[in-house]
Structure 1
Amino acid sequence: MSDNIDLKILNEIEHMCMLCVEQMYRLPTSLPSLIINEQNYQWNDKIEDRNRRDFTRYIYVLSTIHRLVRTQSRMNMRELFYSQVNLFHQQRISDSIVEQIARHLCVDRRQLGLVATAKGFCAGNLRYRIVRSGEIIDCNQLSNGQLIVDDDVEIIETENHITFILVVEKDTIFQHLLNHGFLTRYHGACLITGRGQPDHATRSFLFQLSRVYNETPIYILTDCDIFGVLIASTYQSTFDDNDRHRLRWLGVWPEELLSLCSLSISQTLPITDERERRMISRFIQRSDISDEWRQQVSFFEQHQRKMEIEAIYENGTKKLIDDYLHDKLMGHRWL
């Protein structure tokens, strides 16, 4: 099936380019020329420079995709942009062209040989195979975690089942938990971070993991601000209505700001940015969130305070694991 799709992509690209070349060669030879991939093409003098540039960009991306598919190679979206910085100027332009071509060909971007720049990390009691290369990744053997690639993977179910999956917002918290023995204390756990708003690869990886371990609870830990709540909401939207309840927001909850042990008001921050305030108001008005989440976010409006997770272990490196997370996990306190 994959070979048929690759052949379809190659044939379609070649057909599109042939039509373009045929049209160009019908133009009078006295008109200005444009060089695309070392080929000289003739242009109508009524075509504006902007259109010439847009066309060049499109043809360049098409030729790159043709090479990647033909050679079964991979290139990340960042590499594509940097391969012709002066042509694209901004990465969003090259990204947009790729998405246009993917929609036109009715295929996934990864089938064009273009993948997102790896962003998320995973660690813990987990093994998986990268389908394209056959490489098997054993996350138990990695001390600093494994980069989650934007590629098709197959989760390998192990004899020792994953006891729970903890998704953390920040890479700093991910590394802190690894460095201070979280996976030693919770031997069967799996840690994941999207390093901020999760990309497609991280969300897809989490979803596949949840399908294999379909009874394993999934917890998410974020900063206590509207951005953390939105990140938790993004992860939750990865799942359909039947499975969404499996992802549970562990904290840090707004209502905990003033009650956390040893937390002083100086460790919380005022909400002064108008953009944040508008985001809070819009979130409260959403119809697709639970009453519990709405109540938590309403705390931001009432008290105008927020906090980063780092404040919990500011005065002791074990506080986050030994006190906060342990009490949550053992006390089954989540939303």
Structure 2
Amino acid sequence: MEDLCNLSMRFFSDKNLCYADIPTPNEVRARIEVAVLNFLKILNSPDPAISDLPLIKRSSSNRHVSQGLLTNFSWIFLSNSICTRSLMRTNAARAFVRVWKVMEMCLQILVQEKRVTQRELFYKLLCSSPDYFTSQLQVNRTIQDVVALLRCSRYSLGIMASSRGVVAGRLLLQEPDQKVVDCTECGSSGYAISGDLNLLDKLVMKTDARYIIVVEKHAIFQRLAEDGVFNHIPSIIITAKGYPDIATRFLLHRMSRAFPELPILALVDWNPAGLAILCTFKFGSIAMGLEAYRYACNVKWLGLRGDDLQLVPDQCLVQLKPRDLQIAKSLMSLEVLQENYREELASMVRSGQRAEIEALYLHGFDYLGKYIAKKIVQGNYI
């Protein structure tokens, strides 16, 4: 996995990029120990001072888009702009301490050769350092601080991804020393995607599919799987059951590398949140900081889109909420957002309405498969 990701970095036009690599556990331990030694060295100096922790800034102002030299596709990266955590500033002092607490915990995890989820890590820190950790959000942000400080992926720190994702369709999967799983036989529940990225990286995958279909909602995934759509449209169907988790994005990214000839098509609601989900799969996420590029792949927008609204009765259109408008504003600020996506987004905002995939059931519960097939035959995806 490390070789593939590092190799991919050589094919970007801008080399002034910051990203997290995947060092071995011993290398990560060494980075933590060096950070501690440098800190102690400062404290033991003749003129001791508390130094700042230099972290790559993860705000949108430090967002950078880089295009591959051999493709027109772009990814989101972070540039070299720095922010700090310091004991000398009241508003940053607790965040400064949290970084050391999480690094200490990660060192214990690596020494014990364990892996934990972010949720497990939260409860461990809540018990050991209740004065500094009172919410899951604090833990999640501090993990990203540690990633930004050590320049290594969270998985390298022993932190495992929680997964909600499932996959079905024309895909054979084999874990090390396990039997082959035929995803056409997993029923409407699909094959549960493991949160262990190391295991996902070692999966042996085979397919005779011609498309990969990313579905926003679990209920839509279940309908398509139950109808056996992948038998009529040779395809693999995958969902993260809403906003994409890391494990589902990682597996999709792996499939895009293993089967580069297969178009990846997204079926999402016609609203800002649906487009945000698509863009997270397609470009990466600023929230992932230095790891954003590692999970991105070239996803095309199959539907719902503005030209599908003729299929949706007026009574099924729903008014946009303030949260929708906030998401739309955030998406509009993405320089990587292509023009036809901007036009769709502007159309949503102008209309003040949104449409959900389920509205197509007006035409029958088996209509979704026909809808997808028609759009694929027409090449109607962007």
TM-score (norm 1): 0.74
Q: What is residue 222 of structure 2 aligned with on the other side?
A: 175
Q: CA deviation at 1:129?
A: 5.4
Q: CA deviation at 1:4?
A: 8.1
Amino acid at match of 1:123: A
Q: CA deviation at 1:123?
A: 1.8
Q: What is residue 126 of structure 2 aligned with on the other side?
A: 85
Q: CA deviation at 1:182?
A: 1.9
Contact 2:23 2:156 (C-alpha < 8 Å) held by counterparts: no
Q: Distance in 2 between matches of 1:124 and 1:62?
A: 41
Contact 1:98 1:109 (C-alpha < 8 Å) held by counterparts: yes
Report the count of equivalent residues.
Answer: 303
3-state SS in 2 of match to 1:167: strand
3-state SS in 1 of match to 2:148: helix
3-state SS in 1 of match to 2:24: helix
Whether 2:172 is the aligned partner of 1:123: answer: no
Q: What is residue 105 of structure 1 aligned with on the other side?
A: 150
Equivalent of 2:364 in 310, 313, 316:
316
Contact 2:99 2:145 (C-alpha < 8 Å) held by counterparts: no
Q: What is residue 271 of structure 2 aligned with on the other side?
A: 225
Q: What is residue 49 of structure 2 aligned with on the other side?
A: none
Aligned 1:112-191 pairs, distance under 5 A: 112-128=157-173, 138-140=181-183, 141-143=185-187, 144-145=189-190, 146-152=192-198, 153-158=201-206, 160-186=207-233, 188-191=234-237
Q: Distance in 2 between matches of 1:9 and 1:171?
A: 37
3-state SS in 2 of match to 1:333: coil
Q: CA deviation at 1:97?
A: 2.8
Q: What is residue 6 of structure 1 aligned with on the other side?
A: 25
Q: CA deviation at 1:11?
A: 4.6
Which protein, 1 or 2, shows the higher relative CO under an 8 Å CA cutoff with sep ≥ 6? 2
Whether 2:299 is the aligned partner of 1:247: answer: yes
Whether 2:349 is the aligned partner of 1:301: answer: yes
Q: What is residue 95 of structure 1 aligned with on the other side?
A: 140
Contact 2:216 2:242 (C-alpha < 8 Å) held by counterparts: yes
Amino acid at match of 1:300: M
52-61 or 202-211, larger mean C-alpha shift: 52-61
3-state SS in 2 of match to 1:103: helix
Contact 1:254 1:297 (C-alpha < 8 Å) held by counterparts: no
Question: CA 1:197/1:20 → structure 2, altered by over 3 Å: closer, same or farther?
Answer: same
**Stretches (4+) displaced over 4 A:** 1-4, 11-24, 49-60, 133-137, 281-287
Question: CA 1:67/1:136 → structure 2, altered by over 3 Å: closer, same or farther?
Answer: farther
Equivalent of 1:265 in 311, 314, 334:
314
Contact 1:125 1:162 (C-alpha < 8 Å) held by counterparts: yes
> Residue deviations 1:183-238, cap 9 Å, x none?
3333x311111222223332222122111111111110000111112222222215
Q: CA deviation at 1:250?
A: 0.6
TM-score (norm 2): 0.66
Q: What is residue 76 of structure 1 aligned with on the other side?
A: 117
Q: CA deviation at 1:78?
A: 1.0
Q: Distance in 2 between matches of 1:135 and 1:105?
A: 35
Amino acid at match of 1:332: G
110-119 or 92-101, larger mean C-alpha shift: 92-101
Q: CA deviation at 1:80?
A: 0.8
Question: CA 1:276/1:210 → structure 2, altered by over 3 Å: closer, same or farther?
Answer: same
Q: CA deviation at 1:157?
A: 4.3
Contact 1:171 1:195 (C-alpha < 8 Å) held by counterparts: yes
Q: Distance in 2 between matches of 1:191 and 1:93?
A: 34
Equivalent of 2:337 in 289, 294, 300:
289
Q: CA deviation at 1:75?
A: 0.6
Contact 1:128 1:154 (C-alpha < 8 Å) held by counterparts: no
Contact 2:162 2:247 (C-alpha < 8 Å) held by counterparts: no
Unmatched tracts of structure 1, length 5 or more: 25-46
Q: CA deviation at 1:135?
A: 5.4
Question: CA 1:135/1:65 → structure 2, altered by over 3 Å: closer, same or farther?
Answer: farther
Amino acid at match of 2:381: W
Give aligned-pair identity as a percent: 23
Question: CA 1:134/1:112 → structure 2, altered by over 3 Å: closer, same or farther?
Answer: farther
3-state SS in 2 of match to 1:297: helix
CA RMSD of aligned residues (A): 3.9
Please say which structure displays the higher CA radius of gyration: 1
Equivalent of 2:106 in 65, 73, 90:
65
